[in-house]
Chain A
Amino acid sequence: MKHHCQTFQTRALSRREMLRKTSIGFGGVALSALLNDKAFGAAPGPTAAGPKNPLAPKQPHFTPRAKHVIFLYMDGGPSQVDFFDYKPLLEKYNGQDPRSVMGKLEPTQFNNIGKVLKSPWKFKQYGESGLWVSDLFPHIAELADELCVIKSMTSKFSEHTFANYFLHTGSGFQGRPSMGAWMGYGLGSENQNLPGFVVLNGGLTPPGGLDNFGSGFLPAAYQGSVFGTGSTPVANIKRQENSDEAQRRKLDLVRDLDVGQLKKIGSVDKLESAITNYETAYRMQSEVPELMDLDGESEATKKLYGLDAEFNNTKTFARQCLIARRLVERGVRFIELTCPGGNGDRWDQHGGLVEGHEKNAKSVDQPIAGLIRDLKARGLLDDTLILWSGEFGRTPFAQGGNGRDHNPWGFSNFLCGGGIKGGMTYGETDEFGYKAIHNKVEMHDLHATMLHLLGVDHTQSTYRFSGRDMRLTDVHGHVIHDIIA
């Protein structure tokens, strides 16, 4: 059951239309006809009254530039001044007391302020755009003309968990829907056999836990499904019976008995949906393992991503990136990748900056470059928005001797594909790379822009909860039109 990318479903039949067509009501024959029609249940989304399939595709507010998002989550906070935000002044003041050079410093997480610390890596300009990239990202650097680096990102929080929730959900607190959930809520999913929001877990669960991928007050259907990288990537996807037939017989009886009851009770939307869910679940049992099976990929493709790399974590992340492309092909709306474990620590180098950042960079550099090239070669990059971001950046001065502390006042991330202008930077930090001073971008702005590229007006995509209409962007957010192609 291979999927064909870019094959979008025709407008779905509403249940009522379907019933009219089948005219005989909701007998067993009609039901099985419905069950074989993947469009069943596709109706206006959950804002309308009544239990409808929450993942049915929905009309965007305007023509979208992107249909999918791949969020490369750089857990722990990569250092902006060591990747994209080149600051020669740090070399000049290296080793001096930052308080005398940079003035008043904001409170830091560990309150252990060291000296001004220049980047240990060399910076070069790449591509026609002349984007500055450090030696940490040799592969990504070659794609400079595809990237839009935002140098003026800010966060409101200097602690991991707050900042993670803020990046993921637009609020520093637990219990809000993740951006992937909001996008599923706003747009539905193109594939009814896979979740609309998939998290490919490289090994590191971010501080704050799975609630970074939660659906908060939105229905559970929108929550991120965390996939491991093994052959059984998600809980309960594997049948417990010895054979397909043994399970099928059970499910046939379940359906028979359920339909019999339904005839007695009369047509009830929620029971009908629950019955069809069984067929979807049954298909997911084969769909998901098939997704994870990379045997059909060519050697050249595998090599492109770095599946043959010597460094184990490069292989892990390469596999995640390749599966991300396969998820895009299958119509999954929002895909998030978390970092591989085993690099000593996440991108959170309070000490040992050189070793830690080098290992983390090596894990993701080639796979990300491979992903961008592969998507481009397959014509998928135009429809796929890639976001590379940590929850905050790091201080341009040292923590202790050889680390950097958290810095939410100004940091860099990049966007690529999906309607984004390549080969540009947006915004600036001060001369030390410490605080954003021009075209400051808040998380809400990033979220608003991402929703915009997906065809969603962030002020219109709301959910009534707790006495008001909740949004991913709360009451904030401006679309950054300057970075849209």
Chain B
Amino acid sequence: MSGLLTRWIPAAVFLLLFSVVFSAETEVEFFEKKVRPVLAANCYKCHSVESKKLKGDLLLDHIESVKKGGDSGPAVVPGDLEKSLLIETIRYKNIDMQMPPNGKLPDDEIAVLEKWVTMGAPWPDEPVPVAGNRESFDWKARKAAHWCWQPITAAEPPAASKDEGWDQPIDRFIRAKQSEKGLSPAAAADPRTWIRRVTLDLTGLPPSVADVDAFMDDNEEDAKERVVDRLLASPRFGERWARHWLDLVRYAESCGHEFDYNLNGAHGYRDYVIRAFNANVPYDDLLREHVAGDLLESPRRHPEEDFNESVMGTGFWFLHEAVHAPTDVRKDEAERMDNQIDVFSKTFLGLTVSCARCHDHKFDAIPTSDYYAIAGYLQSSRMDQAMLDPGGRIAAAAAKLKTLRERAQAPQETIINTLAAAHGVDSWKPPAKKEEVEEIDLLEKPAAADIVFEDFESGYDGWKVEGKAFRDRPSTGTEDRQQEVKGFFGKGLVNSYTGEGASRDEPIGRMTSAAFTIERDFVHLLVGGGYHEGTTCVNLLVEGKPVRTAVGRGETDRELLSSRSWNVEEFKGRKAQIEIVDQQKGHWGHINADHIVFSNTADIKPDGASPADEKNRKAIEALAAKFKVSSAAISQVVDSPTNDKKHSLYVWHRLRNAKDLPAERERLATELTSQEMAFAASLEKGLPIPLKQCLMSGEAFGEGPGADGVMRSGRLSNKLQGVLRTPTFELTGDVWCRVRAQKAEIRLIIDNYMMQPFNGLLFGGTRTHNLDTKGQWQWHKLGSSMYHGHRAYLEFNDRNDGFIEISHIVHGARPAEPPNPVSLAVARDESVTDADSLFKSIAKALKQTGHAADLGNNPAIAEEIAKLETSIPGPRTALAMTDGTGEDEFVFIRGSHKNLGEVAPRRLLVAIAGEDQPSHQTGSGRLELAERMLDPSNPFPARVMVNRLWHHLFGRGIVPTVDDFGEMGQPPSHPELLDWLANDFRRDWDIKRALKQITLSATYAQSSAPSAVTASGIDTKDPDNVYLHRMPIRRLQAEAIRDSVLAVSGRLDTRMYGGPVAVHLTSFQGGRGRPGSGPLDGSGRRSIYLSVRRNFMSSFLKTYDSPTPFSTMGRRSVSNVPAQALVMMNDPFVVAEAKRWGAEVAKQEGEADAKISAIYQRALAREPSSVELEKASAFVAAQSEALGKAPNSPEVWSDLCHVVFNLKEFIYLP
């Protein structure tokens, strides 16, 4: 209390003083003379009713407005400098809030405003200036005013037209509008034009000569229908229409930015889209799968390979750019979400929700809260590489493993027998007779295991290396110009034959190991190379002095490393080092060394196993046979450390030979109980993250934590893979995970930032990969003080044949070590009085704590498990979204993540689904979002999709701005037709049926030449052919041009799916992250299979407007530039394909005219006219003469083929 008072009194006195010193009049005088001029000169351009554009919704021209403030809150809190944002901004200390924007005010003016605020911000009594026409945002009024929000009307087609064949609903709408505008339809296109048009539109490839001929010979009424059916059934259809779809989702296979890192799993999404279009997945399902395919109760499965297809749709969310090392990761997340929202809303709703990021939409009925309502779904979701299980084989194996594990662990007897066998005691009954046990001289003096001190497999860690002879890393064998080096172990060894040129023996040096204490009787090592005492040698230094030395052999085969042994018993307990010396230049001036081992046995076998080991092995096998248990399990017990309190068998070592077992057990119980209490207390200090609430994917973690609360990914088998993710939490300190792991990865994902595997910059300490705790439990720390206050979650990855076990996750200080649960259970088990009860108790505890499998496996079943494990396939992974913790996002005031407004509950746009949408109870709520989108009251999905189909078939949508139905888009040319199509489409959401309907219409079958009736008036009546008084001439899209070249040249390879084919890069395409260049012809594969690396796009395709993948691009630009001519004239790809085709033409039978005709039919689906034939023949003759080649030579025909590729007709569809 007193503290509070002392803080408050001076402030109060201070204010009091001012009110005494300044009368109201002087205050006003001060304001008028000093304050108002500063405000007027520096602020009123943007912050007064006179402002042309009011910024930040902040007015500073009346005290009421000043106190009310703008988007960021009150500008001035009278009397409180620190709470007054106005003061904060003019002080220029906060880089995100600096005013005036062009430069800091002079210090004296800042002082004036500070003084004014301290005075209590006096302002004369004057009327509030009248605001101009500042409108408040009224989404309902906007919704009512624009066509796109209105429900789909039940439009009926107008009466059938008199024109023959114009009786389908589509045609009646089109014809009616034409009549209204005084237009007549064009004549029907020539059948060859029609089949080329429809084939390229539906498959992106030209029709084959046979297809054209068959159609020309088909006089049945349904000939066209059968062509369309055939094309829609062709696998080429999916490849064509998937590419259209990929434009919407900014499809790419790399992250762009500085190093263009790989976007893992992207091409799996591409294949999913191709399959979906070929399988004619209904559009409502396609939408559901994109928004929430991971959450569907019964997902669609691949028809042959039988894996979850639906989840793959969610991959589209993550096809955005990604950056490494953002200095503000929350801002980076905001940018990623912005792109996701942009793509999501344009693709499925044809709306630009992104425009409402910083303020209510300027034109459409979309308040800013709508933007953040959608952001909440992303905030509540996470990126995943989903684990798919083709054929359910992994799940089946897991189920079988579960049964086997239960059976394998069943015989408690086995554990008891194993312990007993290892104990080797005569008190144990039966089966061993005393003499038999004695014969097995096993445990009376257990041979201490050999210690491999150094084998030079992983660098020179711990060694001090001087001079140049040893380089900075071990050799890997024979050096350049060296005789063959043999006899070393593994891959690495010391080999100082490292010089250059003729003086390879010249470099000298010395390397010295870290100090160690001599604990074994012998040092064994391998030595070869030079044989100079003192200058090429390996020495044992005791307290710095050499006491043992070894040199090369000085015989033939000198590079052979051979075994040396030193008896070092006399030095036991003393500090020592190993020293490797090369102080010799010239002849044999180098040394080889490897595999330094400390041992208690005198001799050493080449494979490292001593004769004593061999003897033990035999003994253990005998015991195993006798006790009917596995010898591996016995070895494990025998080799378990005697003094490691963390080990599960510590209790066995400690109690089995105790003189007074019950007393020793009680002592142990006391020790461990106090350890347990210390552990529990340390956990209370941190914030535990409950393992039960973690989210699992894959099969590895099974059904969740075991009876002991531990999550184990190797519970059933190390072969199973899985990922565990914690709920999202606020990072306030280090995160400690108590884990046991092998080949595992732990990641701390902060603000959904996922790029650490590519580049750890600024994210040190947030990721551990290839974690191996060598069988021990340990506390593992993750965290970075830079990110305190951020949202985060942990991801535990077992994505290979390793495992990870997690017992505790704590947030805060490092917790204490818990007692070993086996030890604790046994120590507290009062039934333990002798060896018999000890073994039983241990067996029970091992089982209860999940360690039983280590010892007690039934050998027969273990074998069965091992066999089963070899047949478990790895999961197929897919880029996907998965649910995280459901969280609503805040509104970012003026788009700034540093300036948070109110919470925006997750929901679909208010203008679509209203203000009262039920809140989501579990997870992200994306599945409910998808259903709200598909509610019949929402007109967007159906209208937007049919409009896209129309756009691709006519080159112009009924709404030309296909991604923007809002106020800034263009209105529909045929609103009734759009609604009729939408209504018809959402009967069954059948994309192929919709396409068939349009391609079989009379509208689509028109010629591109206007009818004689219309031709004279089109300039005024329909210059842009909005009313489709003829078929528009369209240029083929980039991919269709390249694919047509391949199809016509005969190179097309129709293999589907799989990894992308590298793009052929020109020398002009450079930069960081440049991939290897691919084959010139892309291996003949269709363009959809060419790699799409953001920074290294195909220049051929780009020239023809393939889009930059940054946002939804439902309508590509169609440019018409000389660079396109240069590509067709000079690109080596086009020239090579012309050559390929020309060579084939030369080989064909027939006269020149027949060949020319064949060329025309293949490329343009028509015969040449007589004039064309004449010109082409003349060219062949002239070119033959000029080149000095026979008229039927490949060179001449290639030139004509090249000409045909360059015809406008080849890339423009009439």
Contacts and interface: CB of A to CB of B under 8 A. Distances in A.
Interface in B348-404: 351-352, 354-355, 362-364
B410 interface: no
Contacts of A49: 1023-1024
A80 to B, nearest CB: 17
Contact of B1068 (A235, A250, A273, A274): A235
B257 A174 contact: yes
A205 B260 CA distance: 13
Interface string B313-325: 0000000010101
A159 B323 contact: yes
Interface in A40-93: 49-51, 54-55
Interface in B255-295: 256-258, 260
A337 to B, nearest CB: 15
Contact of B1033 (A235, A245, A250, A268): A268
Contacts, number: 250
A116 to B, nearest CB: 19
Nearest to A258: B1208
Interface in A244-286: 245-247, 249-251, 253-254, 256-258, 260-262, 265-266, 268, 270-271, 273-275, 277-278, 280-282, 284-285
Interface stretch (A214-222, A290-298, A315-323, A374-382): A214-222
B1108 A214 contact: yes
B1074 to A, nearest CB: 8
A468 B355 contact: yes
Given A161-B258, A220-B1117, A210 B1126 contact: no
A388 interface: no
Interface string A203-238: 001111111001011111100011010000011111
B1073 to A, nearest CB: 8
A277 B354 CA distance: 38
A18 interface: no
Contacts of B1108: 174-175, 211, 214, 216
B969 A239 contact: no
B1121 A237 contact: no
B1096 interface: yes
B1105 A220 contact: yes
B1117 A265 contact: no
A162 B325 CA distance: 11
Interface string B749-764: 0000000000001100
Interface stretch (A7-15, A31-39, A103-111): A103-111
Given A175-B1108, A214-B1108, A270-B1120, A467 B1203 contact: no
A237 B1130 contact: yes
A172 B258 CA distance: 12
Contact of A220 (B104, B1119, B1129): B1119
B1126 A236 contact: yes
A440 B101 CA distance: 7
B1126 A281 contact: yes
A99 interface: no
Contacts of A265: 1008-1009, 1033, 1214
A299 B1214 CA distance: 56
Interface string B1085-1125: 00000000011100100110100111100000111111111
A228 B1068 contact: yes
Contacts of A158: 327
A272 to B, nearest CB: 9
Contact of B1110 (A175, A247, A260, A409): A175
Contacts of A218: 1117
B370 to A, nearest CB: 14
A231 to B, nearest CB: 13
Contacts of B102: 439-440, 478
Nearest to A436: B103
B13 interface: no
A176 B1095 CA distance: 14
Contact of A250 (B95, B321, B1203, B1209): B1203
B101 to A, nearest CB: 7
B1183 interface: yes
A247 B1186 CA distance: 11
A208 B321 contact: no
Contact of B104 (A107, A235, A282, A437): A437
A435 interface: yes
A228 B1067 CA distance: 9
Contacts of A253: 1175-1176, 1179, 1203
A160 B1102 CA distance: 25
Nearest to A278: B1125
Contacts of B363: 467-468
The SS class assigned to the B binding surface is loop
Interface stretch (B195-203, B545-553, B960-968): B960-968
A122 interface: no
Given A201-B1070, A266-B1009, A270-B1120, A261 B95 contact: no
B341 to A, nearest CB: 12
Interface in B1106-1158: 1108-1111, 1117-1127, 1129-1132, 1135
A37 to B, nearest CB: 16
Contacts of A277: 1120-1122, 1124-1125
A104 B94 CA distance: 10
A468 B968 contact: yes
B610 interface: no
Contacts of A216: 1108, 1110
A173 interface: yes
B1069 interface: yes
B257 A161 contact: yes
Contacts of A246: 1183, 1186-1187, 1199
A471 to B, nearest CB: 14
B327 A108 contact: yes
A466 interface: yes
A159 B1117 contact: no
Contacts of B354: 466
B256 A174 contact: yes
B95 A409 contact: yes
Contact of B1072 (A106, A201, A207, A437): A207
Contacts of B1109: 175
Contact of B1129 (A160, A239, A249, A261): A239
A249 B1186 contact: yes
A438 interface: yes
Interface in B954-994: 963-964, 966, 968-969
Name, among A110, A201, A209, A225, the residue most crowded by chain B CB atoms within 10 Å (CB to CB). Answer: A209
A446 B1117 CA distance: 29
A174 B1175 contact: no
A464 interface: yes
A208 B1110 CA distance: 13
19 contacts: A55-B1121, A109-B325, A109-B762, A152-B103, A205-B1072, A221-B1120, A237-B1130, A250-B1179, A254-B1207, A260-B1172, A268-B1033, A274-B1125, A277-B1122, A282-B1125, A284-B1126, A437-B92, A437-B103, A466-B342, A468-B968
Given A274-B1120, A437-B92, A467-B351, 18 more contacts: A108-B327, A158-B327, A207-B257, A214-B1108, A219-B1117, A226-B1068, A236-B1126, A237-B1126, A238-B1130, A240-B1132, A258-B1208, A260-B1175, A266-B1015, A281-B1125, A440-B101, A466-B342, A466-B964, A468-B363
Interface of B: 92-93, 95, 98, 101-104, 256-258, 260, 321, 323, 325-328, 335, 339, 342, 346, 351-352, 354-355, 362-364, 761-762, 786, 963-964, 966, 968-969, 1008-1010, 1015, 1023-1024, 1033, 1035, 1066-1073, 1094-1096, 1099, 1102-1103, 1105, 1108-1111, 1117-1127, 1129-1132, 1135, 1169, 1171-1172, 1175-1176, 1179, 1182-1183, 1186-1187, 1199, 1202-1203, 1206-1209, 1212, 1214
Closest 6 CB pairs between A and B? A175-B1110, A467-B352, A209-B1095, A205-B1071, A281-B1125, A207-B258
